[in-house]
Chain A
Amino acid sequence: MELLLIILIGILYATGIYMMLRRSMVKLLIGLILLGNGANMLIFLLGGITKGKPPIIGEGEKILSGLYADPIPQSLILTAIVISFGLQSFAIVLLKRVYVLIQTDDLNDLNTPDTDI
């Protein structure tokens, strides 16, 4: 399971960086999303994986008993997902606006020479 996750994280980071280096804005966005997911998976992996033991106190019990999953990475990932949700929706709206203004998807066309230099 760990090995699988490690490979998956590697792929996510690599494709994310690769997509960010492309010239298309949509691919840039996809790259950012993939990188964010890679980072979330990394937290999940490094927090230690415990199978099938959610850290929820059952009915009629006062404390958790036995081996249970560490709740901190889960809450970290949840926070990170919420944040990246906000950031990505902002980025989508921004890119849409850029597309309306400039009528192109190519990042190289973003360098309008500054008239004021």
Chain B
Amino acid sequence: MKSVILRTASNYLLPLLLLFSVFILLRGHYNPGGGFVGGLIASIAFMLHAFANQLENTRKLLRYPPGALIPVGLAVSLLSGLAPVFAGQPFMTALWFSAPVPIIGLVGTPLFFDIGVYFVVIGITLTILFNISENIL
């Protein structure tokens, strides 16, 4: 697509949307939001970039193929689920640090689980969308 307005806007929107996706990710658990939605917003940001600036440029921007995020995310989620097992609790029990971290708030295993989900969703969505749109864009 050759639209100057969209291309200019997408350059500003990409970091803004990524920041928003992280906000949604951290907001999750007690409020609406979380890893899945955050991941979707982040992948929308990249897709918008791809619409405006061609797919190859977005791929160049990402450097690695988005599929590489999938095992990382899965591993993070798996470890966050396993952490309570070592503490003698049932699998996936939420463990929290007692003192809240500034800005982020309470940190615990559900946050890491959500971060894992966030990465997996970005990885999978971008892989699928890049594949489908390869011949179209």
Residues of B within 8 A of A56 (CB): 30-32
Question: CA separation between A56 and B29, bound complex, in Å?
Answer: 10
Interface range for B: under 10
Question: CA separation between A92 and B129, bound complex, in Å?
Answer: 11
State the Cβ distance, A97 to closest chain B Cβ, in Å. Answer: 10
- Which label, helix, strand, loop or mixed, suits the secondary structure of the A interface? helix
State the Cβ distance, B129 to closest chain A Cβ, in Å. Answer: 8
For residue A57, CB closer than 8 A to chain B, the reply is yes
Count of residues in A whose CB is under 8 Å from the partner chain: 10
Further pairs besides A56-B32, A57-B30, A96-B132: 10, Cβ < 8 Å: A54-B32, A56-B30, A56-B31, A78-B36, A82-B36, A86-B124, A89-B132, A92-B132, A93-B131, A93-B132
11 pairs, A vs B, C-beta closer than 8 Å: A56-B30, A56-B31, A56-B32, A57-B30, A78-B36, A82-B36, A86-B124, A89-B128, A89-B132, A93-B132, A96-B132
